[in-house]
Amino acid sequence: MKKINHNKNYATKKKYGQNFLNDSSLSDKILDVASINKNTEVLEIGPGLGFLTKKLITNSKFLTSFEIDDDLIPILKKKFGKYENFDLVHRDFLEVDLSKFLENKKDVKVVANIPYYITSPIINKLIEYRENISEIYLMIQKEVAERISSKPHSKNMSLLTHAVQFYAETEYLFTVPKEKFDPVPRVDSAFLGIKILKNKKYESQISEEKYFKYLREAFSNKRKSISNNLSNLGFSKDFVKECLKKVGKTELSRAEEFSVQGFIDFIGILEG
């Protein structure tokens, strides 16, 4: 246990990524951009001291919150135990079998200020449940939000960008300065929206396995061109250069120039 959060007289734990929001105007803004209403079923990861929890309970149909920290459970139970549309799950979110909570549910939304040390595993896990979850709204580290929501040609385009944009539309919603957290972290944050694509827009065109096999190689060395990187898959550089021209790229094109659709088209040309 490290620093004391003087407002709440609670000793925050760094190991659980505990930086609690302290500006109450933010909770309204978050509920507003996530369009939460009385018909919405919501999941929250890491309620902490309940900064978002009360508003989520009173404005949604049902809230399920997952909290790992033993010390927070009695506090949360005391504050919110009386609400019938609230389920507090005392578990490590990454270990939980989510299907139990999402069975027969559609269009569930996730709204959370998550522990940043497990941002990618949390997003990957939520995307796995895309049949049941339609929208994901997360407070995360600003640079990671920029990366996930970046557009082709940006230096921020990465494997992670594709790992999310293959399944979802992403939107950088707003920046949150580090002073809005207690204790104050080293980095600024941002609120990110992830909307699962309808009708499996890209998954219907190509298998995940094939897409990510090519993508991993394309990004294997960011300083090298695609024609260099794809030689690992047995393609000659000249052949890859020809294919690049066919999709309107140049010989020196790099992986970060591609959108998801552009990369699917490129794989189609490569495979003939």
Ligand X SMILES: C[S@@+](CC[C@H](N)C(=O)[O-])C[C@H]1O[C@@H](n2cnc3c(N)ncnc32)[C@H](O)[C@@H]1O
Which residues lie near ligand X (CB under 6 A)? Answer: 16-21, 45-48, 51-52, 66-69, 72, 92-94, 113, 115, 118
Whole-angstrom distance, CA of residue 172 vs CA of residue 193: 6
Closest approach, Cβ 93 to ligand X, in A, equals 4
Select 140 or 244, whichever has its Cβ closest to ligand X: 140
Q: Give the residue among 166, 252, 250 at the shortest CA–CA distance from 215.
A: 166
> Is 113 annotated to bind ligand?
yes
Would you say 139 and 176 are in contact if contact means Cβ atoms under 8 Å apart? yes
Complex with ligand X: residue 21 or 230, whichever CB lies closer: 21
Q: Is 124 labelled a binding residue?
A: no
Judged by beta carbon, residue 137 or residue 258, the one nearer ligand X is: 137
- Are the C-beta atoms of residues 167 and 197 closer than 8 Å to each other? yes
Q: Shortest distance, CB of residue 133 to ligand X, whole angstroms?
A: 16
Secondary structure of the chain: what % helix, strand, coil (to 5)? Answer: 40, 20, 40
Residue whose tokens read 């396995």: 209
Cis amide linkage into residue 177, ω under 30° from 0: no
Q: How far is the CB of 8 from ligand X (least distance, A)?
A: 10
Tracing tokens 């992830």 back to the chain, one arrives at 194
Q: Which residue is nearest to ligand X (CB)?
A: 46
- Indicate the residue among 34 and 45 with the shorter CB distance to ligand X: 45
Q: Residues forming the annotated binding site for S-adenosyl-L-methionine? A: 19, 21, 46, 67, 92, 113
